[in-house]
Amino acid sequence: MKSQFRHVALFGKYAAPGAPVANASSRKVLEDIASFLTSQGCTVVVEADTVANTGLQGYAALDMDAIGRQCDLGLVVGGDGTMLGIGRQMAPYGVALIGINQGRLGFITDIPLNNYQDALAPMLGGTFEEDHRSLMHARVMRAGVCVFDALAMNDVVVNRGATSGMVELRVEVDGHLVSNQRADGLIIATPTGSTAYSLSAGGPLMHPSIPAWVMVPIAPHTLTNRPIVLADPAEVAIELIAGRDASASFDMQSLATLQHGDRIIVRRSEHRARFLHPQGWSYFDTLRKKLHWNEGT
């Protein structure tokens, strides 16, 4: 069966420069996958940073913008962190993504590396489950001026400084005051992010098809400050009232240092990530496997 996807971009997980053994291992994995894609009738290109760090040769190297404009499928080889980063960047282009798990958990990179050919062949032929994931668009406003702008697929987190006490935050939803909270921080998570930091802080699991966010306080001073689920068309505003060395992070990567009076405005992005899964994929199967439910029964 030949692929229904003509132009496929390959994104790899790689170590930092100066780790030649790890990058050589990644190069061998990517070479095997690229060869398999070619055998299925795909024209393969490789993301430019992947080429630069692994030394993979023989395929055109394209930047993110060129991949978004020219490719109809992206194959991400790595862990969930790699998939989140690629998902954020490909969402504005509508490029579908398939994840091959070379990491640990694999909530969204769900094809095992040791069995990728059996799973991938029918998907390339058009047999798959399609899964759309919402993104958040967050801005840090300072005196009415945007000083930081980012997309997040997992979460937006306001955190206290590493050596400081609690922060005080004013939280509004659609312009209505929710509360002034004293806590170690606050998480706004998408359904995708509900299995990440939000879960560790006591938030609920949310099915990815639910158009909602969850707002989860981190170690709140008042124990009645509990997680709350919000409709995702809402606009959430978080203002830093007090606290030293506070910061805002977006998918735990992009970081903005906050000043008193800064407002983090979170809205639903107009873009969604497109994930493809093997036929028969179920979110509940993923939860059961990754969270080790039913073990010992």
Q: How far is CA 273 from CA 62, 114, 213, in A?
A: 20, 25, 16
Tell whether the torsion through CA atoms of 159, 161, 166 and 172 is positive or negative. Answer: negative
Which helix or strand (DSSP H or E) is residue 81 part of?
A: helix 80-90
| Cα→Cα distances 154→40, 55, 179, 197, Å | 33, 31, 23, 9
* Tokens matching residue 255: 């970081």
DSSP string of 12-78, one letter each residue: E--PPTT-HHHHHHHHHHHHHHHHHHHHTT-EEEEEHHHHHHH---SSEEE-HHHHHHH-SEEEEEE
Active-site residue among 32, 63, 72, 80?
Answer: 80
CA distance 84 to 153: 7
Task: Name the DSSP letter for residue 203.
Answer: P
Residue 80: active-site member: yes
Q: Are 296 and 143 in contact (CB under 8 A)?
A: no
CA torsion, points 289, 291, 296, 297, in degrees to nearest 10? -70
Q: Could you count the other beta carbons within 10 Å of the beta carbon of residue 180?
A: 13
Dihedral sign of CA atoms 201, 248, 169, 172 in order:
negative
Q: Which two tokens stand for residue 271?
A: 């873009």
Rounded to 10 deg, the angle between the 20-39 and 116-124 helix axes is: 40
> Annotated catalytic sites, by residue?
80
